[in-house]
Amino acid sequence: MSGPIRRPGSENATRPVGGTEYSWCRAVPGGTGITVIALLLRQPPDMRNLQNALEKLHNYHPILRSKLRFDAPTNTFSFLTLPPLAASHVQIQTFNSSSTAEILRSTDDLSGEPHRIILEHELNNNTWTDPERWIDGEASVFFVSLYDLGDGECDSRRCVVTFRLHTAACDRTAAVTLLRDFLEAVTAEGDGGAAEEKAEEISPAIEDLIPTGKANKPFWARGMDVLGYSLNALRFSNLDFVEAESPKESQVVRMQMNRDETRKLVASLLLHECDGRGMKLWAAIAAAGMISAHSSKNLPEKQREKYAVVTLMDCRPILEPPLISKDFGFYHSGILHTHDLTEEETLWDLAERLNSSFTTLKNSDKHFTDMPDLNFLMCKAIENPRLTPSSSLRTALISVFEDPVFDASTGQVLRDKGVEDYLGCSSVHGVGPSIAVFDTMRDGCLDCMCVYPSPLHSRDQMQGLVQSMKAILLDT
């Protein structure tokens, strides 16, 4: 339990982090849980307008102006929220064209999109590496950078704006809201816009909002489940590791489908409903990832392997009281489920099994009852990496979201605001899956950011896996 918010004599407000937030505070120093949004702009923004827009976001979303506070003697974390006036000036780190060019040259993918390379750079820029070295035991949760691409005339030179956040303060739903509020605020005149209204304090932790009775589990059952998760993890199969000893970083491969390809996939989803329940996109993506990984090993035809999938769901609508997308924080929960696979498996048979398994577990409130178990095991894996295969800290083959982000405004509306493209995802190289999929439906086109730990997996390996996934999804 995170407990109530305490208000000291000043206008600052503090509250201890909840259990899920604490697990992210433990994971981020190792490199998992850094959320980044990168916007490719047609030309540099007006700095005063940019500053005003960011200050509006600070006013509306208090967690953005919060600091994580670490207490070394007790090894605990809390959020310290500053009043709007005390945190009104947002620092923007700027990189000129020379500095940006050096970053773009440092990648092993010289043909990659520049804003995707900068996104990778930001995913591995870890402000939170060592809490014991934070200034006065505190660290901000929100950072903004501006990169000059230097690839055009002064009046049309492209640039990249990035937002980097601690995932304990911002899950995927909050990141999407942040992007939309920013675009509204940066184009608003005067003091209007989406961020005009002020919120005074951050929302409680997810554990404090679980409906009564939904998280109940007998002590013996919790112990058995933790033991079961631990023993089963030793039997999970993984995508082959390329280099398990070297320090890791997060890299990204992008999987895109055009409108016709997306329509074909959606039609297949509708055709393969599971017992009258709609087949969801995540199940098809996860099934394609499992089949691709299994096929890449060239195993005997009948050899069976067990793979773990984590399906993440936004719990805001089912909390008590319900929250909305403008309530910032981490309010997702994951359900871990495992499935056996052979070379004979077909996409839609496996997707139906995944979809049915998740639905059953969700109906049993596993996203609430197992939340402390999975948080505990995540922290134990961080403390004891040797408990995972090759000390890789891999806890599943793939993680996916129950629902994609739907964005019907990507086209002309964004172009009118000077945004050519945007990307968003979180890092995974500390502890987590071999591949984390962040999927978006943009103007009827599927766009997936696939994040993986390198050099545990190589770019060539993951590009091949993602290409295979796309081919499997469209081979219907």
Same topology between domain 13-204 and domain 207-474? yes
Return d(Cα 79, Cα 431) in angstroms, integer.
Answer: 23
Residues of the chain with pLDDT under 50: 1, 4-10, 154-155, 190-196
User: Domain ranges in the chain?
Assistant: 13-204, 207-474
Q: Give long-range contacts, CB 8 A cutoff, 24+ apart: 461-465.
A: 461/239, 461/240, 461/242, 461/296, 462/251, 462/253, 462/435, 463/253, 464/296, 465/239, 465/289, 465/292, 465/293, 465/296, 465/435
* Dihedral sign computed on CA atoms, order 157, 40, 189, 84: negative
410-449 tens-digit pLDDT: 566 677 788 999 999 999 999 999 999 999 999 899 999 9
Determine contact, residues 12/26, Cβ cutoff 8 Å.
no
Using DSSP bridges, classify how beta strands 432-442 and 394-401 pair: parallel, antiparallel or unpaired. parallel
Give the CATH superfamily of 207-474. Answer: Nonribosomal peptide synthetase, condensation domain (3.30.559.30)
CATH code for the part of the protein at 13-204 = 3.30.559.10
Strands (E), 216-274: 249-256
Determine contact, residues 93/143, Cβ cutoff 8 Å.
yes
Give 250's strand partners. Answer: 453
Strands (E), 215-356: 249-256, 305-314, 332-341
pLDDT score at 408: 72
359-418 tens-digit pLDDT: 999 999 999 999 999 999 899 999 999 888 899 999 999 999 999 999 876 566 677 788
pLDDT score at 348: 94
pLDDT score at 229: 63
pLDDT score at 409: 63
Tokens of 343: 């070379």
Determine contact, residues 368/334, Cβ cutoff 8 Å.
no
pLDDT score at 101: 94
Backbone angles phi, psi at 471, to 5 degrees: -60, -40
pTM: 0.93
Backbone angles phi, psi at 118, to 5 degrees: -65, -35
Per-residue burial over 271-283, b = 16 or more CB atoms within 10 Å of its CB, e = otherwise: ebebeeeebbbbb
Using DSSP bridges, classify how beta strands 66-71 and 32-41 pair: parallel, antiparallel or unpaired. unpaired
